[in-house]
Amino acid sequence: MKNHLGREEGLGLRTLSVHGGERPDPVTKASAPNLVMSTTFVADPDAGFSVERMGADAPFVYTRWGNPTVAQLEKKLALLEKAESCVAFGSGMAAISALLLHSLASGDHLVISDVTYAAAAEMTNDLFPSLGIRVTKANMADLEALRAAMTPQTRLVYAETPCNPILRLTDIAAAAEIAHSVNAKLAVDSTFATPVATQPLTLGADYVVHSLTKYLGGHGDAVGGAILGRKDDLDVLRKRVAIRTGGILSPFNAWLIMRGLATFPLRMDAHQRGAMQVARFLEKHPQVTRVVYPGLPSHPQHELAARQMRNFSGMLTFQVRSGRQAARVFAERLTIIHYAVSLGHHRSLLFYIGTADMLETSFRLTPEQEASYREFGGDGVFRLSVGIEDGDDLCRDLDQALVA
């Protein structure tokens, strides 16, 4: 794939974020990407009706099979992640469920981070075991625990790093080696890190998964997801799972996400700068009992973070003495930061995640894992997604809401 410059090799991430995958329209010469909302395309009368015989460079037939706007986004994402191929989905969860369906069959074994985004945790508690797939949850900050979880039936290791919401990290290169030792593949949910920080495929991972809803789209106005990996593998995934189960991305959302992507490396710089300032401010605040941010030397895996992440991203968690009560005060008093779920937007977002809620709804951990989570979590954590506003303003907003 070439952009209009005719070459991609050696181009920096900022140049690829603007130009990668895009080409001026050959007919109109439009410089910005076209938004093609057509569901169907005038077809060759000899074209087949089944996707089975669809070749890799087949013309567009039907938007669930492929769409020019979505294809441009997929090419841009592949360049940013140094991937051979990308398949876009209607949400991060659609991408994750498609990857699990593609990788696992009855009798197979999945090893997944014991703390992940709640819906991934819930899906692997219920849906996948009901399909005859055995699931083990392991603390992937602990490589011995990961090694111990592997079996000859393990087909996929699924790591979320940094993980939502406690910002634990997995050493991707080491996890890849462990997965490959039993012929399993390694998938990394890199939503929190983004390709500005880490490119998991270059460290040995087989798949990268993103919720495009977060940093890559970046503006809180489009839900989307993506899987990246090897072309021969993703060609099969696209036909067998994406097109048939149908969780594809709308061209309009692809267009919005592509517009967001143009400024994504610049935003990540601002997210990191703001998060570092806010993390240092909270660490010194008398009402705050703990701050967890991979960029702080106090993060238990700071050394790994410094080695594996070129940017520490904008996500931090903190604790205060009475979390639930503080959540009510925050929701009422914050004037800039929105008390809301989601993350990775230009706007700062704060949400309280109670430990009891998490343990009851999401994780269903072994007693040892539960003990380790409770030890980390106390009564709960505030997850703060630091936006791109001025750090001084965010600190002032938190300070006036952090009342005794």
- 227 DSSP β-pair partners: 87, 209
Are the beta carbons of 210 and 218 closer than 8 angstroms?
A: no
CB of 192 to ligand PLP, least distance (A): 6
CA-based radius of gyration for the chain: 21
- 380 DSSP β-pair partners: 354
| For ligand PLP, the closer CB: 162 or 380 | 162
Are the beta carbons of 96 and 245 closer than 8 angstroms?
A: no
| For ligand PLP, the closer CB: 72 or 91 | 91
CB of 383 to ligand PLP, least distance (A): 9
CB of 160 to ligand PLP, least distance (A): 5
CB of 249 to ligand PLP, least distance (A): 11
Residue type, 217: G
| For ligand PLP, the closer CB: 223 or 305 | 223
CB of 123 to ligand PLP, least distance (A): 10
CB of 95 to ligand PLP, least distance (A): 8
| For ligand PLP, the closer CB: 192 or 382 | 192
- Name the residue with the smallest CB distance to ligand PLP: 92
Nearest to 78 by CA among 168, 160, 16, 159: 16
- What's the token pair of residue 144? 């011995």
Residues that bind ligand PLP (CB under 6 A): 91-93, 117, 160, 164, 189, 191-192, 211, 213, 223, 225
Nearest to 363 by CA among 130, 122, 149, 142: 122
| For ligand PLP, the closer CB: 60 or 339 | 339
CB of 44 to ligand PLP, least distance (A): 35
**DSSP state string for 204-240:** T-SEEEEETTTTTT-SSS---EEEEE-HHHHHHHIII
| For ligand PLP, the closer CB: 3 or 213 | 213
Are the beta carbons of 388 and 271 closer than 8 angstroms?
A: yes
| For ligand PLP, the closer CB: 93 or 157 | 93
Distance CA 12, CA 199 (A): 14
Hey, how many other C-beta atoms are within 10 angstroms of the C-beta on 42?
Answer: 8
